[in-house]
Homo-oligomer: A and B are copies of this chain.
Amino acid sequence: MNHLVSIDQLSQTELEEILDKARLFEEQPNRDLLKNKVVATLFFEPSTRTRLSFETAVNRLGGRVIGFSDAKSSSTSKGESLKDTISMVSNYADLIVMRHFLEGAALYASELNRVPIVNAGDGANQHPSQTLLDLYSIRKTQGTLYDRTVVMVGDLKYGRTVHSLISGLSNYRPRFIFVAPEELALPEEYKEYCRSHHLPFEETSDFSSEVIAEADILYMTRVQRERFVDMEEYERVKDVYRLTADMLSPAKEHMKILHPLPRVNEISTDVDDTKFAYFVQQAGNGLFVRQSIICHVLGIDVK
């Protein structure tokens, strides 16, 4: 039985197969591949974007959706264990897409091995469908996944999508520039990962025009107030990692700005109309990538 719990579990071949099939869905998203299939979307914490994107994927494939968008209206609020909830839903659904606030929840669910599990985010840990849509967006806008200089900006400490993208790009000779305030710097384990995989990287807290000039991909993330112990520090840095249109003049022609969304203030809206903005289309790619993921774990052939 196939699950998608972590980006690391995919071989390079599998990963590229998922991206290749996503392109077929981009050409034609409406396909009757899930007839008679029921997919459960279990969101133990809310995530509108991810949920709507998965539910659109299922609907455009002709499947049906059951589920909940918030743990407050689930049996969990009556004290039911995750194991029992997953066992119960496995009786009804052919596939479970789950978002959980605890790290490891999706792995645990997959080990019950009742129906295929797709991890739609577990705490600060993994969010593989986001990473796959990031990769899809990089390949689509750059023509290749190889040899990209990826500048990652903002919260590199807690940013789950940042950590997964480092791993997802590891076979494609990336060069990273990590731009973050000290409090939110990339944890040592991910730097160690880069070293052991021979992925060159630089670190800086200075979101400078030199750094922007280097980027093929500028990957922005939210600097969340609640991550800071020291509110003065937050007030000091919050505007430093904010991207505005006037900062983009040194950018390469083909540079694209990605963001896992939702954004709050970290990308000024005057960036939206520049040729560099790609984060809305990036989210749109999520539909095709998720259709591809669903077919991958269910072993459904796509042509």
Binding site for B on A (CB under 8 A): 30, 36, 38, 40, 46-49, 52-53, 55-56, 59-60, 64, 66-70, 72-75, 77-81, 83-85, 87-89, 91-93, 261-264, 269, 280-281, 283-284, 286-287
Known: A46-B73, A91-B284. 10 other contacts (CB 8 A): A36-B60, A38-B56, A47-B75, A52-B68, A52-B88, A78-B264, A79-B264, A80-B264, A88-B261, A92-B284
Q: Give the Cβ gap from A63 to chain B, nearest Cβ, in Å.
A: 9
A64 with B59, Cβ < 8 A, contacts A91-B283, A261-B88, A280-B87 known = yes
Q: Residue on B with the closest CB to A52?
A: B66
Q: How far is the CA of A67 from the CA of B52 in the complex (A)?
A: 7
How many copies of the polypeptide does the oligomer hold? 3
Q: Across the interface, do A73 and B70 meet the contact criterion of CB distance under 8 Å?
A: yes
Show 16 A/B contacts (Cβ-Cβ < 8 Å), sorted by A.
A48-B74, A52-B66, A52-B92, A53-B91, A56-B93, A68-B69, A69-B73, A78-B264, A79-B262, A80-B262, A80-B264, A83-B269, A85-B262, A87-B283, A88-B261, A91-B280
- Return the chain B residue nearest A287 by Cβ: B92
How far, in Å, is A261 (CB) from chain B's closest CB? 7
What residues on B are CB-neighbors of A40 within 8 Å? 52
CB distance from A112 to the nearest CB of B (A): 10
Give A281's nearest chain B residue, CB to CB. B91
